[in-house]
């Protein structure tokens, strides 16, 4: 038995090799993530007598190249959750906690010896799943940038055209990600751009703008916008400099909106290539964006042995906590899982709650908990828990049917 612990970091790893009874085959040594050095590591590990198992932690995307390289060269590789290793071996009250790459690699090797027969074999996700998850993470980053840039634009407009963002309720256009009020202030960055004209002149200009950008024109809306602009009190003058300040902020925001729209389309195309896509899209509250995000964050559902494992992965499980006569009535969710998945689930639950479909089992369960007087977050997470159970059952049944048919 040769237990290989690899503490992975960016561009390099620390490797330690142990045998039972604490026998050190190789003290911790550094290996760069280059083909030559990884090949030398493979040669070393294959030269050892007995069975060899390699253990490493999930560390972002850093572990993936070395895990794939070792597995493709015929070695047993197991990639474990860092939570399982975090407190392992820290049992002494007399020794202070030590955190170095060398100590971590030895801890991983010891962990491999103790869990030798229960180590799960590493299986890489398909290229489509890896790419979909990467797209989703980029989508989330751009959404954060969009919120920041939109707040910045609203702050600037408070000095030139206060509350103009409240004039239009038109949702984001799916084709290019544009929003009507953003395109509108690009044309009219200052309230005086409207109030300085007669209503007839503004109405003609607004009609021309609507036709050019593909928005609906309404005479009533034109009148309300004109009256609103005439009653504004801007703090910055209507000059070329103030217009340039607004246009620069808008151009950045529009670029982000177009990028987000492009990412959403690509995510939906990638998700459509995966076998569970039609089942996931049939769930109420799941559309092209949220459905793609859900598939991206859950991944291949067959890697979970049961529905409880999927719920634990999401971090919305509340384990029992009882000792003697102490038995709390309420327990918080663990949050020891994927925050991105929890966010996606919360958004889906919000859609279900807003639409209140009377024939949807998730909403009926949510409504039942709400009628019992449960807190908002309690019934939302309880509904997310039920949703994941249904998701696991439906997707697993669909995949088994496809495998049987094949």
Q: What does the domain layout of the chain look like in residue ranges?
A: 2-124, 129-263, 277-405
Q: What is the pLDDT of residues 366-383, one digit of tens each?
A: 999 999 998 898 899 999
State the burial class of residue 262 (Cβ atoms within 10 Å of its Cβ: 0-12, 13-18, 19+).
Answer: middle
What is the average pLDDT value for the chain, to the nearest integer? Answer: 87
Residue 96 has pLDDT above 60, yes or no: no
CATH node for 2-124: 3.30.420.10
How much is the pLDDT for 94? 46
Of 280 and 103, the one with more pLDDT: 280
- In this prediction, residues 267-277 reach a mean pLDDT of 92
Predicted confidence (pLDDT) at residue 311 exceeds the cutoff of 70: yes
Q: Is the pLDDT of residue 95 over 60?
A: no
Residue 196 has pLDDT above 80, yes or no: yes
Percentage of residues of the chain with pLDDT beyond 90: 46
Q: How confident is the model at residue 316 (pLDDT cuts 50, 70, 90)?
A: confident
Q: What is the mean pLDDT of residues 287-305?
A: 90
Q: In terms of Cα–Cα distance, which of 61, 69, 80, 56 is closest to 134?
A: 61
Residue 327 has pLDDT above 70, yes or no: no
Q: Would you state the pLDDT for residue 330? A: 64
Segment among 112-116, 158-162, 341-345 with least mean pLDDT? 112-116
- Are 231 and 256 within 8 A, CB to CB? no
Task: Indicate if the pLDDT at residue 27 is higher than 90.
Answer: no
Confidence at 253, pLDDT banded by 50, 70, 90 = very high
What is the structure's pLDDT at 274?
Answer: 92
Q: Is the pLDDT of residue 93 over 60?
A: no
Give every CB contact of residue 133 below 8 A, 6+ residues apart in sequence: 125, 296, 297, 299
Mean pLDDT check: name the lowest of 105-109, 147-151, 161-165, 272-276: 105-109
pTM over 0.85: no
Query: Within 13 Å and on the Cβ side, how many CA atoms surround 224?
Result: 9
pLDDT at position 347, please?
94
């Amino acid at each position: 038995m040769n237990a290989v612990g690899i503490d992975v970091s960016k561009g390099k790893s620390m490797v330690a090799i142990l045998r039972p009874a604490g026998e050190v085959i190789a003290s911790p040594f550094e290996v760069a993530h280059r083909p030559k050095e990884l090949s030398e590591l493979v040669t070393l590990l294959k030269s050892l007598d007995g069975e060899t198992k390699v253990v490493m932690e999930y560390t972002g995307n850093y572990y993936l190249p070395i895990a794939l390289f070792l597995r493709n060269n015929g070695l047993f590789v197991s990639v474990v959750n860092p939570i399982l290793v975090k407190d392992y071996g820290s049992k002494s009250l007399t020794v202070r906690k030590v955190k170095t790459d060398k100590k971590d690699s030895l801890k991983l090797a010891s962990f491999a010896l103790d869990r030798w027969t229960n180590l799960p074999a590493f299986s890489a996700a398909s290229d489509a799943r890896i790419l979909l998850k990467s797209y989703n993470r980029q989508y989330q980053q751009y959404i954060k940038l969009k919120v920041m840039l939109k707040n910045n634009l609203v702050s600037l407009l408070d000095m030139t055209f206060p509350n103009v963002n409240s004039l239009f309720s038109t949702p984001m256009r799916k084709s290019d990600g544009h929003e009507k009020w953003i395109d509108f202030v690009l044309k009219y960055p200052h309230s005086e751009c409207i109030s300085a004209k007669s209503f007839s002149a503004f109405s003609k200009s607004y009609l021309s703008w609507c036709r050019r950008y593909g928005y609906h024109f309404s005479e009533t809306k034109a009148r309300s916008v004109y009256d609103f602009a005439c009653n504004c009190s801007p703090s910055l003058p209507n000059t070329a400099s103030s217009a340039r300040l607004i246009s620069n902020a808008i151009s950045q925001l529009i670029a982000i909106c177009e990028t987000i729209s492009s990412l959403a389309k690509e995510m939906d195309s990638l998700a459509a290539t995966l076998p569970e896509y039609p089942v996931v899209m049939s769930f109420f509250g799941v559309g092209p964006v949220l459905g793609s995000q859900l598939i991206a964050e859950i991944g291949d559902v067959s890697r979970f042995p049961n529905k409880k494992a999927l719920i634990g992965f999401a971090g919305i499980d509340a384990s029992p906590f009882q000792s003697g006569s102490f038995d709390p009535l309420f327990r918080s969710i663990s949050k020891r899982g994927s925050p991105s998945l929890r966010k996606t689930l919360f958004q889906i639950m919000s859609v279900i709650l807003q639409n209140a479909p009377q024939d949807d089992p998730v909403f009926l369960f949510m409504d039942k908990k709400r009628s019992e007087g449960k807190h908002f977050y309690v019934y939302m997470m309880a509904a997310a828990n039920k949703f994941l159970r249904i998701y696991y059952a439906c997707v697993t049944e669909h995949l088994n049917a496809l495998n049987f048919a094949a």
